[in-house]
Amino acid sequence: MKTATATLLAITAVAIGAATAVNAADIAAMTGYAIKLNAEGSAFAYYTAASDGFHVVVTTQLGMTDRAAVERLETVLAAGQSAAVSIPRRAGQTPTRIVLSNAGDHLHIAEPLAAVSVR
């Protein structure tokens, strides 16, 4: 019984770890990065480098029609700073979260493991 319980706990820990894992990408200035959020949602991120930091733009689209909800976020990240974009999901579901970080010579994008990315 102890072995079965220990195995179950180990499997649960791995499942929880996988559910909270993230994919990540590092992109250069003026390089676009597309993120598939779910079956009907996507995001697109890019940045330009300036003397005051990275000027980051993220556009999200939730829906697959010409009437889909589109949001645009713009922010400036100094070296070492990060910003999170939280995309709502259905009631009772945790929002999808994308974290953008100025890593000095590139933008680091951390996205949920469930998301599928393409460049």
pLDDT at residue 13, rounded to an integer: 36
pLDDT at residue 115, rounded to an integer: 46
Residue 9 belongs to a domain: no
- The CA distances from residue 46 to 65, 80, 109, in Å, are 23, 17, 10
pLDDT at residue 22, rounded to an integer: 56
Range of the domain at 49: 23-118
Residue 90 belongs to a domain: yes
Split into its structural domains, the chain has a count of: 1
User: Residue 8 pLDDT more than 50?
Assistant: no
Residue 16 belongs to a domain: no
Residue 10 belongs to a domain: no
Residue 6 belongs to a domain: no
Residue 7 belongs to a domain: no
What is the rounded CA–CA span in Å between residue 72 and residue 58? 6
**E-only strand ranges, the chain:** 22-27, 33-38, 41-50, 53-62, 69-77, 82-87, 96-102, 107-112, 116-118
Higher pLDDT, 80 or 37: 80
Mean pLDDT of the chain: 78
Residue 46 belongs to a domain: yes
